[in-house]
Amino acid sequence: MKIPAGLSIVLLTLGMLLSCSSVPVSEYADNAPVMVVEEFFNGSLRAHGIVKDRGGKVTRYFNASINAYWVDGVGTLDEVFKFDDGEEQRRIWKLVKDDAGNYVGSANDVVGTSVLKVAGNSLFLDYVLRIPYDDGTLDLHIDDRMYLVSDRVLINESVMTKWGFDVGQITLVIEKNE
């Protein structure tokens, strides 16, 4: 059976819209433990994660150390990533709470700023990450979703897109050091 051209465009558009829908952070407002950004991201933390390509294949592994602290209402997350291929990356986030109770974040390899939204045990943020690529750089949209599962453990899922297409995923666990 042949689908009329107009109907196929409607179906394609509907499919794209449905694939873009996501659960808002407010859905987790009643979940515990409650995410208090200034408490969890304070002190020494470590992270362990994987990077997957768009097909779901794990392409890299990493470990990271995070030194997090707050001074005069400004949070700093100094992150050092060590990848399995020997590459090291450093990202320094600066966080400031806004009047709406969200946080505005910026980092050395992030284009512009990001609004961090918190509800219940969850923290969501969207940003554009500039990464080294060939002899230049590549800007990727990152949809970060973090879930506090205990007072000391946070699970982070990230979807990376370029021009609206999924290009990879990052999964990591962040732990507060004793």
The pLDDT, as a whole number, for residue 178 is 79
pLDDT for position 5: 53
Whose CA is closest to 48, among 58, 38, 36? Answer: 58
Q: CA–CA separation, 107 vs 89, rounded Å?
A: 12
Which whole number is the average pLDDT over 82-96? 96
Task: Write down the pLDDT at residue 51.
Answer: 97
Over 80: is that where the pLDDT of 14 sits? no
How does pLDDT run across 105-122, given as a tens digit for each residue?
Answer: 999 999 999 999 999 999
Q: What is the pLDDT of residue 21?
A: 53
Residue 3: other Cβ atoms inside 10 A? 10
pLDDT at 133: 87
pLDDT at residue 127, rounded to an integer: 95
Is 92's pLDDT higher than 60?
Answer: yes
Instruction: Tell me the pLDDT tens digit for each residue of 138-165.
Output: 999 999 999 999 999 999 999 999 999 9
User: What pTM was computed for the model?
Assistant: 0.85
Alpha-carbon torsion (126, 22, 103, 77), positive or negative: negative
Question: What is 33-176's CATH topology?
Answer: Lipocalin (2.40.128)
Task: For the chain, give every domain's residue range.
Answer: 33-176
SS3 40: helix
Instruction: Round the average pLDDT of the chain to a whole number and report it.
Output: 90
Check: CB of residue 53 under 8 Å from CB of residue 39: no
What pLDDT band is residue 18 in, cutting at 50, 70 and 90?
very low
**Rounded CA separation 76/142 (Å):** 20
Please check whether residue 115 is in contact with residue 104, taking contact to mean a CB–CB distance below 8 angstroms: yes
pLDDT at 72 over 80: yes
